[in-house]
Amino acid sequence: MPFKANVDRHHHIPRQKRKVTNWAAYDASLRQRGSLTVWFTEEAIVAWRAAPRTTRGGQPWCSPLAILTALTLKAVFRLALPRPKD
Protein backbone atom coordinates (compact mmCIF):
# COMPACT_ATOMS: atom_id res chain seq x y z
CA MET A 1 0.00 0.00 0.00
CA PRO A 2 2.80 2.60 0.56
CA PHE A 3 3.47 2.96 -3.18
CA LYS A 4 -0.16 3.98 -3.69
CA ALA A 5 -0.22 6.55 -0.90
CA ASN A 6 1.02 9.49 -3.03
CA VAL A 7 -0.29 8.43 -6.43
CA ASP A 8 -2.12 11.75 -6.93
CA ARG A 9 1.20 13.65 -6.54
CA HIS A 10 3.31 11.52 -8.90
CA HIS A 11 4.53 13.51 -11.88
CA HIS A 12 5.02 11.23 -14.83
CA ILE A 13 6.72 12.27 -18.05
CA PRO A 14 4.00 12.45 -20.70
CA ARG A 15 4.24 10.41 -23.87
CA GLN A 16 5.63 12.12 -26.94
CA LYS A 17 2.80 13.49 -29.09
CA ARG A 18 4.62 13.58 -32.42
CA LYS A 19 7.08 11.12 -33.88
CA VAL A 20 10.40 12.57 -35.04
CA THR A 21 11.05 11.64 -38.66
CA ASN A 22 13.86 14.03 -39.59
CA TRP A 23 16.49 13.48 -36.88
CA ALA A 24 19.12 15.68 -38.51
CA ALA A 25 16.82 18.72 -38.49
CA TYR A 26 15.65 17.88 -34.96
CA ASP A 27 19.22 17.70 -33.63
CA ALA A 28 20.13 20.94 -35.42
CA SER A 29 17.12 22.70 -33.90
CA LEU A 30 18.12 21.54 -30.41
CA ARG A 31 21.66 22.87 -30.93
CA GLN A 32 20.28 26.18 -32.22
CA ARG A 33 17.92 26.43 -29.28
CA GLY A 34 20.80 26.26 -26.83
CA SER A 35 23.12 28.69 -28.61
CA LEU A 36 24.13 31.99 -27.12
CA THR A 37 26.19 34.60 -28.95
CA VAL A 38 27.99 37.37 -27.08
CA TRP A 39 29.97 40.15 -28.74
CA PHE A 40 32.95 41.84 -27.07
CA THR A 41 34.72 45.04 -28.07
CA GLU A 42 38.41 45.06 -28.92
CA GLU A 43 39.14 46.94 -25.69
CA ALA A 44 37.40 44.23 -23.68
CA ILE A 45 39.39 41.51 -25.46
CA VAL A 46 42.65 43.29 -24.67
CA ALA A 47 41.61 43.74 -21.02
CA TRP A 48 40.48 40.10 -20.85
CA ARG A 49 44.06 38.83 -20.80
CA ALA A 50 45.48 38.39 -17.34
CA ALA A 51 48.48 40.45 -16.30
CA PRO A 52 51.69 38.45 -15.95
CA ARG A 53 52.58 37.49 -12.41
CA THR A 54 55.59 39.02 -10.73
CA THR A 55 56.16 36.03 -8.46
CA ARG A 56 56.97 32.45 -9.25
CA GLY A 57 54.18 30.22 -10.50
CA GLY A 58 53.38 31.35 -14.03
CA GLN A 59 50.29 33.22 -15.14
CA PRO A 60 46.99 33.46 -13.25
CA TRP A 61 44.03 31.62 -14.71
CA CYS A 62 41.77 34.61 -15.34
CA SER A 63 41.81 38.39 -15.25
CA PRO A 64 39.39 40.24 -12.96
CA LEU A 65 37.38 41.32 -16.02
CA ALA A 66 37.02 37.69 -17.16
CA ILE A 67 35.83 36.65 -13.70
CA LEU A 68 33.35 39.53 -13.52
CA THR A 69 32.02 38.73 -17.02
CA ALA A 70 31.58 35.04 -16.20
CA LEU A 71 29.74 35.83 -12.97
CA THR A 72 27.51 38.35 -14.76
CA LEU A 73 26.60 35.84 -17.49
CA LYS A 74 25.93 33.24 -14.83
CA ALA A 75 23.58 35.56 -12.94
CA VAL A 76 21.74 36.86 -16.00
CA PHE A 77 21.27 33.60 -17.88
CA ARG A 78 21.40 31.20 -14.90
CA LEU A 79 24.36 29.35 -16.37
CA ALA A 80 26.91 27.10 -14.73
CA LEU A 81 30.46 28.35 -14.59
CA PRO A 82 32.86 26.58 -16.99
CA ARG A 83 35.55 24.43 -15.46
CA PRO A 84 39.11 25.64 -16.07
CA LYS A 85 41.04 23.49 -18.51
CA ASP A 86 43.96 21.58 -17.06
Interatomic CA distance for residues 62 and 31, integer angstroms: 28
Q: What is the mean pLDDT of residues 57-72?
A: 80
Q: If you average pLDDT over every residue of the chain, what do you get? A: 78
Percent of the chain with pLDDT over 90: 0
CA angle 52, 54, 57 (to 5 degrees): 80
Q: Are 63 and 48 in contact (CB under 8 A)?
A: yes
pLDDT of residue 8 exceeding 60, the answer is: yes
In single-letter form, the type of residue at position 56 comes to R
Kindly provide the residue ranges of all beta strands, DSSP E only, lying in the chain, ordered along the sequence: none
According to the model, what pLDDT value does residue 86 have? 53
Instruction: Give residue 1's pLDDT band: very low, low, confident or very high (50, 70, 90).
Output: low
User: Where are the chain's structural domains?
Assistant: 37-86
